[in-house]
Amino acid sequence: MTLRRRMGHWVVLAPLLVIGASVGAPLRAAPRGDDFDRPYWRTNLFKRVITDQKFLLTEWWPQEIRNPAFVGTLGAGLAIAVHSGANGGQGSDFSWERGASGSASPQVKLASNGLTRLGNGAAVAAILGVTYLSARRAHDDRLAEASSLATESLVDAGIWILVLKSATARVRPHQSGEGRFFQYGAPQNGSFPSGHAMAAFSVAAVFADKYRDKKWVPWLSYGMATLVSGARVALGRHYPSDVVVGAVLGTSIGRGVVARSSESEARTVPGTFVPTVGPDGRGAGIAWSYSWN
């Protein structure tokens, strides 16, 4: 993979990190040591992302391997991709992609271009940043938490998108190479997995979980992620297997972020000891102070 290609991926990831830096940061400066009083989603985003990688590799994905839905869907996507890539232009991956992109009308392609722009990492990060800050000012902690965790999930997904695309180097549709893998140095070799699908589903999984009591939110979240993912096939930018694998991994990352946040909250001891005096102003002691704000 050329340096230009690698830099292209970082140009996409960098806005996620810059805009995401505001997520989890307090709206005004806090005194040192105040991190112990903050919920997980308000702690430092970058530290969370760094420690997420160990959690995903050593705890979450080993647990996911025991999940039949995860293994079955991911395995099917990988099998289709490998079979088609090894048979050079043959297989269901190619026929589905050619059918979808070849039959797409100009209106569908126009809508797909709009969905692609909406699903770009920088655009999603900007939306999440605005949503987080607006929710904080409106004292809507649930929306602020969902936005913060979704940004964390999005950055996690961005890291793995870069790693997997660089490692697999699958040529995109309509390029020489017929969807083969490990075509290092070839142009347009970032097909697997779909970055748009992985990012969109990583965000959708967080909102779907945090608003699971409102049935329309999971439907809307996963519905939008599906539209963004489908748009990439309609535009001839990805094979269906790229999208399936990206969607499965993105969903897993989002669910993993939520699971880790729940575990961290459970391990956090709320409140702190503070000095106090008796009600009549005499005597001194230590009291337990806890704030719900």
Local confidence pLDDT in tens for the 293 residues of the chain: 444 444 344 444 544 444 444 455 444 444 444 455 789 999 999 999 999 999 999 999 999 999 999 999 999 999 999 888 777 667 789 889 989 999 999 999 999 999 999 999 999 999 999 999 999 999 999 999 999 999 999 999 999 999 999 999 999 998 776 788 999 998 889 999 999 999 999 999 999 999 999 999 999 999 999 999 999 999 999 999 999 999 999 999 999 999 999 988 776 545 554 455 555 555 555 554 544 44
Q: How far apart are CA 67 and CA 63, in angstroms?
A: 7
Q: How far apart are CA 72 and CA 206, in angstroms?
A: 22
195: nearest Cα among 4, 42, 3, 8 = 8
Instruction: Give start and end residues of each alpha helix (H) in 191-291.
Output: 195-210, 216-234, 240-267
235: nearest Cα among 204, 194, 183 = 194
179 CB-near residues (< 8 Å, 6+ apart) = 84, 85, 88, 89, 93, 94, 170, 171, 172, 173, 191, 239
Q: How far apart are CA 1 and CA 174, in angstroms?
A: 19
DSSP state of 74: H
Q: How far apart are CA 7 and CA 14, in angstroms?
A: 10
Host H or E run for residue 273: strand 272-277
For residue 3, how many C-alpha atoms fall within 13 Å in the half-sphere facing its CB? Answer: 0
At residue 84, the pLDDT reads 83
pTM for the model: 0.82
